[in-house]
Amino acid sequence: MTNSLPRTGQGFLSIILHAHLPYVRHPEHDSFFEENWLFEAMTECYLPLIGVLDRLHADNVDYRLALSLSPTLISMLRDDLLQTRFLKYLHSRLELAEKEIIRTRKQPEYQKLARLYRRFFLNALDTYQNRYQGDLLAAFIKHQATGKLELVTTAATHGFLPLLNVSETAVRNQINTGIATFKAATGSAPSGFWLPECGYYPGLETVLADAGIKYFFVDTHGVMDASEQPRNGVYAPLDCGNGVAAFARDPESSKQVWSAKEGYPGDFDYREYYSDIGFERELDYIAPYILDRETRINTGIKYHRVTGGNLPKEIYNPRQAKAKAYRHAQDFIDKRRGQIDRLEATMDRPPVIVAPYDAELFGHWWFEGTHWLECVLRLASEKASGVQLISCGEYLTQQPSLQAATPAASTWGDQGYSGYWINETNDWIYPLLHKAELDMEKLANDVKGLALTPLQIRALNQAARSILLAQASDWPFIMKSGTTIDYANKRITDHLARFNYLHDSIRKNRLNERYLTALEIMDNIFPDIDFRDYNPSNVSAGYKPDKH
């Protein structure tokens, strides 16, 4: 039992954005389609988000926001090759926008939009190249230092932990490597942790506590179906019994943003994501800006609004869409205030409404999303709003006494459990992943105490990288969703093949340094990885390398 606290007549809103992309770096090719996932997110989401933070800072707005940065994304944002390719991507988009301005000279409404895109790409280039010298992480770290932005992280390659839990060592390495990568990049340790896909199982809080984590997030039913009935529903965190807190997603605020039918992004005035000149212009015209001059892809230049129904798509009106985003932000704050007013009468502490979203929704999928977010943060910061922004870390400081209970196994996927990540489309991967993990653990144990050469150590560390990369939750997700299935299959099979090659070469002491070097160049993530972390006896003995 916990002591009741006096009501303070206030309630809190905690917005968390989860920024993550799988590791899509391909130095073996001059250009690669999946690298565009990163470039599109940088252009349409991360750079506009930095613009929001910069403006809020310039206007001295007292906002609070949490941002989860995945280790794979951190690594790609700091990668020299990808930074160079991103600049090339931006310049190509600028060139296309210039061509569009000329092409639409007799269509003033379309030319107005073409000019908007030129300004958009120029602003992205200026922010990236001149304001932050190609280092987007530096921008986020700068805003973290103000105390208004809280940065947290997730597992190393976003491995789906409930299905990796056949080996605690696998789970520990996903968590510890992720945190080590975050610390090396930001210079600080995260208090919070985003469980990949919000995938939780009872006992995971022990591994998180060992890693120094104070809180994590689960979906609504993770708390509502906990071992003890939550007295405050999802509007106060639970103590998992070891001092680690579990915050649950609020279904109301989630539905307003996520729902395909009822959510804001589907409004008829907003830009239509699926109307892109990469699919609409003549092939000869668009060829220089698509894949291999043949395969049509998104260019980011889109001229139509959602419109609705089966009606012909109408031209996009940015001013109208921006005004709608402001009204939706007002509606969002009004509804949160109404929630808080209702909750206050039933709770022994101020309620906290936890609103977690994928960061890439804002700006990329929902073009106006970053403007909506800025409006929400500005409106909530006003004293009359009746809603106070807070980070989950701050809430725990203010409300240290929590109800103790163990959350239920849960995810934020379809149906709330693991079905999206293990089903008839992708279940074949798990025996292979589990075997590779056990082979790695046995190898790490077998070489313990041996005098290893520098080449052997490099090979062992590269094998550990291959294991982590194969475990990414993105690949089974893609297999189920049916998008780039061939690429997802190839990523898993390639990483497992690289692991198996290294494992066998180490066992037989037949290492090819040239091939090893090639693998190190292709998969250069986690430079400080230590294969010894895969020895289960080190974990059971409480072994913790200094770098962790």
Report strand pairing: 192-194 vs 215-218.
parallel
Structure tokens at 248: 């649950």
Count how many Cα atoms sit within 13 Å of the Cα of residue 31 in the half-sphere of its side chain: 16
Determine the Cα angle at 239 with ends 233 and 243, to 5°: 165
Count how many Cα atoms sit within 13 Å of the Cα of residue 88 in the half-sphere of its side chain: 13
Neighbours of 56 (CB within 10 A): 21
Cβ–Cβ < 8 Å for 197, 471: no
Helices 485-508 + 474-481 axis angle, to 10: 140
Residues annotated catalytic, as ranges: 197, 358
Is 278 annotated to bind a ligand? Reply is: no
Is 412 annotated to bind a ligand? Reply is: yes
Give the bridge partners for 149, in sequence order.
65
Structure tokens at 539: 């974990």
Which ranges in 291-349 belong to alpha helices (H)? Answer: 318-344
How far is Cα 62 from Cα 276, in angstroms, rounded to an integer?
Answer: 37
Is 25 annotated to bind a ligand? Reply is: no
How far is Cα 385 from Cα 334, in angstroms, rounded to an integer?
Answer: 8
Cβ–Cβ < 8 Å for 463, 437: no
Q: Which residues contact 344 (CB under 8 A, 6 or more apart)?
A: 7, 9, 11, 350, 351
Burial of 526 (0-12, 13-18, 19+ CB in 10 A): buried
Q: How many helices and strands (H and E) does the chain possess?
A: 22, 10
Q: Name residue, tokens 């060829």.
A: 287
Structure tokens at 543: 């072994």
Cβ–Cβ < 8 Å for 353, 338: no
Compute and round to an integer the Cα radius of gyration of the chain: 24
Cβ–Cβ < 8 Å for 462, 524: no
DSSP type of residue 305? B
How far is Cα 48 from Cα 51, in angstroms, rounded to an integer?
Answer: 5
Q: Name residue, tokens 């809190």.
A: 12
Question: 3-state DSSP call for residue 130?
Answer: helix
The sign one gets for the Cα dihedral 229, 233, 238, 240 is positive
Is 474 annotated to bind a ligand? Reply is: yes
Structure tokens at 197: 């896909």
How far is Cα 66 from Cα 12, in angstroms, rounded to an integer?
Answer: 14
Neighbours of 456 (CB within 10 A): 17
- Residues present in the chain in total: 548
Give the bridge partners for 194, in sequence order.
154
How far is Cα 204 from Cα 168, in angstroms, rounded to an integer?
Answer: 9
Give the bridge partners for 69, in sequence order.
19, 153
Q: Which residues are annotated as a binding site for substrate?
A: 249, 266, 412, 474
